[in-house]
Amino acid sequence: MQLEKLFDGHPHVKNLLCTLGGILMYSLALDLFLVGNNIAAGGISGIAIVLTQVFPVSVGALVFLMNVPILLSSLVVNGWRYTIGAIIGATVYSASIELFTVFPTLTDNPLVAAVYGGVIYGVGMALLTLGNGSTGGTDLLSRLMVKRFPAMSVGKMCVFIDGGVVILAMIAFGDIEVGLYAIITIAVCSIVSDRIVLGFERGSLCMVVTAMEPHRIADPLMQALGRAVTRLEGTGMYTNVNRNVMLLAVRPQEVPKVKRLLQSIDPNAFVMLLPANELIGGNFHLSRSRP
């Protein structure tokens, strides 16, 4: 949210900076943690890490060479306008991998490398998502494959391809642990990326359906949480009786307090807690529940 305000009116600048930042994070994760520990965490780069054991070619060069047929296919299928950004991103990505090879691998502990590599990879993925950027690779390949196999979603196709890369790494290195560390990297990457893209101010939306007078429910909740409650009107279609629906945002640590409070006020209330990826606006960021 703050990023959008910072670049308000300059979306192209934001997209460019996010894409470049994402590419640099990807490259740093590879050169500082993953390549030196043989962690092939999916994608074209994972295949490149495996192939370096067979061919005397650098990871950056292999990534570029493998991206060429994917980018050419995208040009044919999707056209120049759709693919030009991926071509630039893939070229810069390969070049930055080569550039950062001057840095040493920071640890020879594969578990530490898997976790920290996953964190940096996740930051890079989030930045690329926010910047609507691409480095080619399996993301672009998945989109091309989905057009050939429309029953598969892009997400499922990515999982299928990345899973195949992990299995290939275990076979090539003759070590199951290499694949297990790669899975840790992929999991950490996904968690970090989701947190950044979807937001850190997560919570729940609490909906209370009650027959009681609305202020008898809302006032104790507002006093306990220091936060507003919104009243909606509802009708039970089975009984055809009007009901009050109270809606409020709740932090994870506030859920037990809200449940106890509602149980004491109206044991017959129907309560729903719905997960919310991010809660923005109002006084949610400022308010804190009272002891």
Q: Please state the domain extents for the chain.
A: 2-198, 203-276
User: With 70 as the cut, is the pLDDT of residue 152 above it?
Assistant: no
User: With 70 as the cut, is the pLDDT of residue 172 above it?
Assistant: yes
Under the banding of pLDDT at 50, 70 and 90, the label for residue 137 is: confident
Burial of 106 (0-12, 13-18, 19+ CB in 10 A): middle
Query: Which residues neighbour 182 within 8 Å (Cβ) at sequence distance 6 or greater?
Result: 39, 40, 41, 42, 46, 114, 165, 166, 169
Q: What is the pTM of this model?
A: 0.72
Q: What is the gyration radius of the CA atoms in the chain, in angstroms?
A: 25
Q: pLDDT for 198-233, tens place per residue?
A: 766 677 889 999 989 989 999 998 888 888 898 988
Q: Cβ atoms within 10 A of the Cβ of 189, count?
A: 24
| Mean pLDDT score of the chain | 84
pLDDT of residue 1: 45
9 HSE (CA, 13 A, CB side): 0
The DSSP 8-state label assigned to residue 207 in this structure reads E
User: With 90 as the cut, is the pLDDT of residue 276 above it?
Assistant: no
Dihedral, CA atoms, 281, 285, 287, 291, nearest 10 degrees?
140
pLDDT of residue 82: 75
User: With 90 as the cut, is the pLDDT of residue 23 above it?
Assistant: yes
Under the banding of pLDDT at 50, 70 and 90, the label for residue 25 is: very high
CATH number attached to the domain at 203-276: 3.30.70.120
pLDDT of residue 274: 85
Under the banding of pLDDT at 50, 70 and 90, the label for residue 162 is: confident
Pairwise pLDDT comparison (159 vs 257), residue with the higher score:
257
* Mean pLDDT (whole number) for 151-177: 82
